[in-house]
Amino acid sequence: MATLAIESNGRLEKTAVYFNGEQISGLKELFLNLDEDGTFDAVLQYEGLDKLLYTKNVFNEMLANVKIVEPSFTEEEAEQLQLLEIESNGDINNTMVLLNGEEQDGLVCLFLHIKASSTPKGGLKSLFGGKTEISSDAEFKAEYTFRYEDGQTVTEAIF
């Protein structure tokens, strides 16, 4: 089974994505859509070591030429973040979703879309440090829906 993990506070600049325990870099987009009806979409788009763009199903395809980096957050910083983990072999029936190490019982649907698009700074902005900024087409949406024993469903933000 493979493990995809997202550590975040809900802001792109405080988000790290891990595959089987190693932080990946060059992430362009991550899309997860899992539901109790059998939907299982887990697609990752990233720039590889060879500068080519790859689009892969995280749990069904080998990730080729992935850039691995040292963890972005110290243990103290990570304590301030949420950790969402999806363990799976690509089959929705063999998938476990954990938040901060706890299995999420009653999960009906999980939707996560991270699109991190960067553009170079220019003009006066370049005087204030940093090489890139998050552009307006960036997206971060992460929510899940639970069904309680009484049948009521509730949708909540993950991060």
DSSP state of 12: G
Structural domain total, the chain: 1
- pTM over the 0.85 mark: no
Cβ 141 vs Cβ 13: under 8 Å:
no
pLDDT above 70 covers a percentage of the chain that reads: 87
Q: What six digits make up the tokens of 28?
A: 């362009």
Q: Using an 8 Å Cβ cutoff, are 39 and 92 in contact?
A: yes
pLDDT, tens only, 56-76: 999 999 999 999 999 999 999
Given pLDDT bands bounded at 50, 70 and 90, which one contains residue 116? confident
Segments forming the whole domain that contains residue 79: 2-157
| One-letter amino acid for residue 140 of the chain | F
Q: Coil, helix or strand for 125?
A: helix
Looking at 68-77, 123-132, 134-143, which range is the least confident one?
A: 123-132
